[in-house]
Amino acid sequence: MESLVADLETFRGRRVLITGHTGFKGSWLSLWLQQHGAIVYGFALQPESLNSHFSLLNLEQIIEHNVGDIRNEESLRQIFERVKPEVVFHLAAQPLVKKSYDFPVETFDTNIIGSTHLLECVRNSPSVKVCIFVTSDKCYLNRETSTGYKEHDQLGGHDPYSASKAAAEIVFASYNFSFFNSNEQLGAASVRAGNVIGGGDWSDNRIVPDCIRALISGRPIVLRQPYATRPWQHVLEPLSGYIKLAAKLFRQPNFGISSFNFGPLESSVHTVFDVAQACVNEWGSGDVVIDSLEPNHHEASILHLNCDLAKTELRWEPRWNFSQTIHETMDWYKRAESHEPVIEITGQQIKKYEESLDD
């Protein structure tokens, strides 16, 4: 892989706006860019808990933290007018499948209407040179096939979350075709990543946070879909792809490709049971229990991405295999549980990842 550090340096001294910076991926991205000299502004809801990665990093004191909801177009517009961002990473979303069943209107409102507000702000902001529009691998119409989905495959979704992400992709494509492509100074692309894990994720109904909570409390890990397969990857993997793509668009705004997949190595496609057992092994103790109850809602059993386009056009490829991904993730939680400063744990893992790119 060509130097990721060089791509990160592209944003030194640049005004970067990250929506969803209080979330799991957003907090890692915010710190990473800030460490390389970017002037980072965040716009998001307050984190849901005091043990969020954002809070534990004390990120509010490191970047400019703005509280707001992308469903409020006026507050988002005011941030764009004041900050005049040069680069925009749009990560703000309702990110959970199960929650989308409980709150479908909120999910559609946030992921479709809120994202449309973001695109409208980009359209009306001459300062913006790059927009990275983050959706999900679940934007593809899932045919339960082991073949990896490519960027031109059919979009769709059975559950509200997946449907909202497919719809957001359609909205983005419309803005890109109708407005962005004719702007020679603006490069925009949507990005789709697989199941992301790593230190600092405490969301409900996600396999690794559920494992950690069970292991810390001494309870067994209960799995509802143990044999569902997912493309597991460390949070730094897709973020490195977003950064490389943003740097490419900054240098070459209209290079002609508007969507990219960022997934792990094929060997990192494992079952939920594999992940839980690997977490137990790394932790050093614990039990895994399979819940015999049928799931209440539909969830995909097989999901896999084809990332040839990113490898060819961006010279991007994942560097941490499944074993290292689990190891680094569990090491983060063990060190945090031992009360090591989270800013040091996260910073050291970022440095380790950067150094691995040049091996």
Closest CA to 90 of 60, 116, 66, 51: 116
Confidence tier at 1 by pLDDT (50, 70, 90): very low
Q: What's the chain's length in residues?
A: 359
For 221-252, give one letter per residue: b (16+ CB within 10 A) or e.
bebbbbebbbbbbbbbbbbbbbbbbbbbbbee
Tokens of 349: 């893992």
pLDDT tens for each residue of 197-221: 999 999 888 899 999 999 999 999 9
Please tell me the total count of domains within the chain: 1
Burial of 292 (0-12, 13-18, 19+ CB in 10 A): exposed
* Between residues 311 and 299, the one the model is more confident about: 311
Average pLDDT, stretch 107-120?
Answer: 98
Q: How far apart are CA 178 and CA 196, in angstroms?
A: 32
Number of Cβ within a 10 Å radius of residue 7: 22
- Over pLDDT 70: what percentage of the chain? 95
Q: What letter represents residue 120's amino acid?
A: E
Q: CATH number, domain at 14?
A: 3.40.50.720
pLDDT score at 2: 54
Indicate the pTM of the whole model.
0.94
pLDDT tens for each residue of 250-267: 999 988 899 999 998 877
Burial of 49 (0-12, 13-18, 19+ CB in 10 A): exposed
Query: 213: domain range?
Result: 4-356
Query: Contact at 8 Å (CB) between 316 and 241?
Result: yes
